[in-house]
Amino acid sequence: MRRISLLAAAGWTTLAFLYLPILVLVVFSFNSSKYGASWGGFTWDWYAKLFSDHKILSSTWNSLVVAALSAALSTAMGTFAAVARGRQPTAAERAKEAFFYIPLIIPELMLAVGFLLFFGTLKVDLGLWALVIAHTTLNLPIVWLIVKARLEKLDPRLEDAAVDLGATRWQALLRITLPLLAPAVAAGGLMAFIISVDCFLISFFVAGPSTTTLPIQIYSMLKYAISPEVNALSTLLFLASLAAVVAAWLLQGGEDAAIH
């Protein structure tokens, strides 16, 4: 019994370590006192203010547009890349595949600088399209990994069975493989969307002066002081991310029940 309660204590401590800063943020987003760390009473005012702030609304819109476009692009490309790959790759093919997920572990700052140079060299205007391209790159490995993991769980005989029953390879892909991959594709798309919405560093480098995204807006509001408005905005962003991750997780869990 004693050991179990110790373990429980360790677990709660870890959770507290992970989530206390966020909890503080959430609590202070309801604080009616504008300055300092003192509690002045509960209020929804900061949330109400968000929805009348023109800059916040336009940067939210920018973020959603960039996220939607880059998620769509990276989902299509990532799914295609995962499906195009052989089912039983050789060791050499697996080694080559590392190139698909190395971007995940490259320091984001490096990617950001790289994109800045890349767009400069190609004379691409910084702004919306530069953001979409950069975010697609950032998202692609995530989508690829999620779809590939799902594909590896599929019985390759399913496609063979479809072909045996008269389908062409293309029909087998459309009618059997892609429908069975759908939950993973959706989960990958959601993850891509939320990674794009949350992305600050790369956006900061390639957004240009005209296209402010939500994280950049928050950063610019922080230059003078931490306002409760920022707390409220961050809380909403946190909830949206949480919802997306939970939805992606459910999608990937639900698929297994259908297969096994």
Partner 1 sequence: MSAAVPSIELKGVRKRFGSAVAVDGVDLTIGDGEFFALLGPSGCGKTTLLRMIAGFEFPDSGRVLVEGKDVARVPPNERPVNMVFQHYALFPHMTVADNVAFGLRMKRLPQDEVVDRAAEGLRTVRLESLGGRYPHQLSGGQQQRVALARALVNRPEVLLLDEPLAALDERLRQDMRVELKALQAKVGISFVFVTHDQEEALALADRIAVMRAGRIEQVGTPQEVYEAPATRFVADFVGVSNLLPGAVVEVEPLLMEAEGGTRRALLEVGGLGRVSAFLMNGARAGDSVTLCLRPERIHLASDGSEAELENRVPGIVQSTVFLGGEVRYRVMTASGRELDAHEISSPLRPVRRPGERVLVQWRAEDARPVRE
Residues that bind partner 1 (CB under 8 A): 155, 157-158, 160-168, 171, 176, 179-180, 258-260
Of 84 and 165, the one with the shorter C-beta distance to partner 1 is 165
Of 177 and 227, the one with the shorter C-beta distance to partner 1 is 177
47 burial (CB, 10 Å; 0-12 / 13-18 / 19+) is middle
127: DSSP letter = S
Of 25 and 173, the one with the shorter C-beta distance to partner 1 is 173
What is d(CA 198, CA 228) in angstroms, rounded to the nearest whole number? Answer: 19
84: nearest Cα among 177, 176, 221? 177
> Identity (one letter) of the amino acid at 257?
A
* Smallest separation, CB 249 to partner 1 (Å): 21
92 burial (CB, 10 Å; 0-12 / 13-18 / 19+) is exposed
* Smallest separation, CB 157 to partner 1 (Å): 4
What is d(CA 60, CA 56) in angstroms, rounded to the nearest whole number? Answer: 6
Provide φ and ψ at 253, rounded to 5°: -75, -40
Neighbours of 203 (CB within 10 A): 27
Of 163 and 239, the one with the shorter C-beta distance to partner 1 is 163
Of 52 and 88, the one with the shorter C-beta distance to partner 1 is 88
> Identity (one letter) of the amino acid at 258?
A
Asked if residue 147 lies in contact with residue 190, where contact means CB atoms within 8 angstroms, the answer is: no
Of 16 and 161, the one with the shorter C-beta distance to partner 1 is 161
* Smallest separation, CB 163 to partner 1 (Å): 5
* Smallest separation, CB 184 to partner 1 (Å): 13
Of 104 and 161, the one with the shorter C-beta distance to partner 1 is 161
Asked if residue 75 lies in contact with residue 143, where contact means CB atoms within 8 angstroms, the answer is: yes
What is d(CA 184, CA 178) in angstroms, rounded to the nearest whole number? Answer: 10
